[in-house]
Structure 1
Amino acid sequence: MATDISHIQGWSVNMSINCTKKQKQKVLEGTRSAAFVQKQHVSMENMLENMVRQL
């Protein structure tokens, strides 16, 4: 029985490690997409400024 308990403990530790890795990945993806949207927004503003200058 003792081996079963240690096996379960190891499994739960692995599960929690995997969960934190997935959460970190999600956070990274979120910051990347946010930065991408910001870049797009800046380029849109630049385009509008250029259009206004041409008028």
Structure 2
Amino acid sequence: MKTIIYYFTGTGNMLAAAKKIATVLADCELVPIASLQNIQEEILPGADPVGIP
């Protein structure tokens, strides 16, 4: 089962936490929230479990 973790980081701490969580999960994608700021349409994740650290 694929998991998506959305994270926001200014100093890198949340990225480090997201990476640590991802090492425990089998199939995991990390998505920076900042990369989604210019998307106008609804964002629908392609995974059932979604996390935000």
Same fold at TM > 0.5:
no
**Bigger-Rg structure (1/2):** 1
Q: Flag the structure with higher strand content.
A: 2
Relative contact order, higher structure (CA 8 A, sep 6+): 2
Q: Flag the structure with higher helix content.
A: 1
Name the TM-score, length of structure 2 as normaliser. 0.28
